[in-house]
Chains A and B, each alone.
Chain A
Amino acid sequence: MNLSDLRKRLHPLYFESPAGYTKSYAEGGSQLKTLYDVRKGWQLYALFALPLLYIIVFKYVPMFGSVIAFKQFTVTKGMFGSPWVGFAHFERFFHSYEFWRLLKNTLSISFYTLAASFPFPILLALGLNYVKNERFKKTVQMVTYAPYFISLVVVVGLLFQFLDPRTGIVNTVLGWFGVDAINFMGEASMFQSIYVWSHVWQNVGFACIIYLAALAGIDPSLHEAAVMDGANKIQRMRHIDIPGILPIAVILLILNTGQIMETGFEKILIMQNALNLRASEVIDTYVYKVGMVSQALNFSYATAIGLFKAAIGFILLIIVNQTAKKVGQESLW
């Protein structure tokens, strides 16, 4: 299966061309035909009912529930009884002292993560592709996948253990060189780097699988011809391998850029403490605090901030995809 074919098949609205499917039947949009299909396929609808119910209850009901962002919601009055306040919560957020700091932290963590986690899986895959020793290759793959299965709580726990100012191994090593112990987790200036590089450590192997698969799909005759023409490995990588994985890399880049507002909220939340809050508070953690843990819970305000983030994310995804389409590269739809 080549890549453009794969992409086509992955399109949400893609269906195989109906071979062995009579034409009039396939194109028959008449109501009678529809009714016939629904009746004959009632078992399919029976299967589909429960998942559809799930999507409606747990995805669409909350979506409509987010109208409380435009209301002054109180639990006693309920969603319908609470008075409308228009964009008051949004205005309050835009003018609040936290707004710029939250936006800055969210975007800088996202771009930092993207910049660091995008190239490494590609480099790892390109390197592994030229390893002839199968055992070495398998070992590197096995080992680099493993951290993907370790939970976020454990990864953050590991960070705390290794970076501990008194018992951590990093500070022990620094001590040999006469460097005073550093409280890494308490340094706001180091928070984002610790977050991003532990993310790379955890995900690089798993993210590289897809590129390895794409490299394996490149026609070997291209390499043979290049070798005959005297190309060295760097040249072959530059002119054969990189163009070969470019489509999939672009798709992943589009997707990741579209997700730029989605920070690894669950990980940031457990890495946070009072000392690093200046660099670690992002929109998602702030929503959680305003809506679920603060002394004076404000559901409407929290929902408004969340809605703002979701809307920006949605618009970004569309812009990025349209841009990619215009440049003539791959696009998602």
Chain B
Amino acid sequence: MNKSSIRESGSDRAFTIVNYIVLSIVLIAVLYPLIYVVSASFSSSYAVLSGKVWLWPVDPSLDGYKAVFKNKNILTGFQNTVFYTVAGTLINIIMTIMAAYPMSRRDFRGRNIFMLLFVFTMMFSGGLIPTYFVVKDLHMINTVWAMLIPTALSVWNVIIMRTYFQTTIPHELLEASQLDGCNDFRFLLRIVIPLSGPIIAVIALFYAVGHWNQYFNAMIYLKDPHLYPLQLILRDILVQNEVKIDMLGDVKSAAARQGLRELLKYSLIVVSSVPLLLIYPFVQKFFVKGVMIGSIKG
């Protein structure tokens, strides 16, 4: 679109200016809370408590982070969450491909019925209590399996992946491979999966975000604190304000304790959010494609 030869009219220039101003306001509105949290987490507890932090850290200190990394519950939670996210996402991807590939093949008899069976579960569900009883009857309560198996597959992601397979893997490729004596397993492993890198990356990110941020299933299925994911510990500290005194080390005065408690929250928010925010720029370039195929999800 080369419009540089035509001079912008007055109303267009006004539009451009207003547009930039509005977008800048949006940018600041989204960015400011994030900057504030990071700055507060690097400030001293006194500065946080007295409301001196505005934009940049005041009296820089790492006390909050020290308190976070000294805390056993937080570290265990972090390890558990990493495990649930990695193992869970791996299971998700394998299951999604196993469901999506056959349904992308038109010589797969019964695929329409299977698809209806899958899609119906998106529109109607048995609900919380019956699902809980299924998990309970399978003896998964209070085991790591409760965090991995009940969320093993998302029908929505199966549809996205199936659509991708149908539109990007040419039928001729399958025929040529079959002529060379390639069976379905080999074709999937050697041809389809290597050709589907971008969509696997996007879907893995969707699943990983879900696992990393999961707290509700953990809350109803897990009872042993050693199995708790980070989000459940975050909920206790951030929302229910349950910071135990021994988390704060050997701080004596009540005021200092109060300050460190607030500081610990900010540092914890940063520590728990950074891993996902670091992964996402690498996957971002595949996003538009993944989201476009998955447009209906909204």
Contacts and interface: CB of A to CB of B under 8 A. Distances in A.
Interface of A: 1, 6, 9-10, 12-13, 15-16, 18-21, 26, 34, 37-38, 40-41, 43-45, 47-48, 50-52, 54-55, 57-66, 68, 79, 124, 127-128, 130-131, 136, 139-140, 142-154, 156-158, 160-162, 167, 169, 172, 201, 204-205, 207, 209-210, 212-213, 220, 223-224, 227, 232-234, 248, 251-252, 255-256, 266, 269-270, 284, 287-288, 291-292, 299, 302-303, 306-307, 309-311, 313-314, 317, 332
13 contacts: A12-B116, A16-B106, A43-B183, A47-B101, A51-B96, A57-B138, A131-B23, A144-B26, A149-B276, A158-B33, A167-B51, A204-B26, A209-B288
A66 B188 CA distance: 38
B114 A52 contact: yes
A65 B209 CA distance: 30
Nearest to B28: A143
B297 to A, nearest CB: 8
B105 interface: yes
Interface string B1-37: 1010010010110011001101100110111011011
A130 B19 contact: yes
Contacts of A62: 125-127, 130-131, 133-134
Contacts, number: 305
Contact of A287 (B12, B128, B265): B128
Q: Is the interface of A mostly helix, strand, loop or mixed?
A: helix
B171 A19 contact: yes
A19 B109 CA distance: 18
A314 B298 contact: no
Given A130-B16, A266-B215, A54 B296 contact: no
Contact of B109 (A37, A140, A152, A311): A37
A151 B215 contact: yes
B253 interface: no
B117 interface: yes
Given A15-B166, A51-B153, A145-B280, 6 more contacts: A16-B166, A19-B171, A149-B277, A151-B234, A152-B215, A154-B234
Contacts of B36: 169
Nearest to A256: B298
Contact of A213 (B37, B220, B288): B288
Contacts of B115: 12-13
B12 A223 contact: no
The interface centre, meaning the residue of A62, A158, A332 with most chain B CB atoms within 10 A of its CB, is A62
Contacts of A152: 213, 215
B116 A43 contact: no
Interface of B: 1, 3, 6, 9, 11-12, 15-16, 19-20, 22-23, 26-27, 29-31, 33-34, 36-37, 48-49, 51, 95-96, 98-99, 101-103, 105-109, 112, 114-119, 121, 123-134, 138, 149-150, 152-153, 155, 158-159, 163, 166-167, 171-172, 175, 183-185, 188, 209, 212-213, 215-216, 220, 231, 234-235, 237-239, 241, 262, 265-266, 269, 272-273, 276-277, 280-281, 284, 287-288, 291-293, 295-298
Nearest to B53: A169
A287 B130 CA distance: 12
A60 to B, nearest CB: 8
Contacts of B31: 143
A154 B22 contact: no
A292 B1 CA distance: 59
Contacts of B288: 209, 212-213
Contacts of B49: 167
A44 B108 contact: yes
Nearest to B159: A12
Contacts of B212: 151
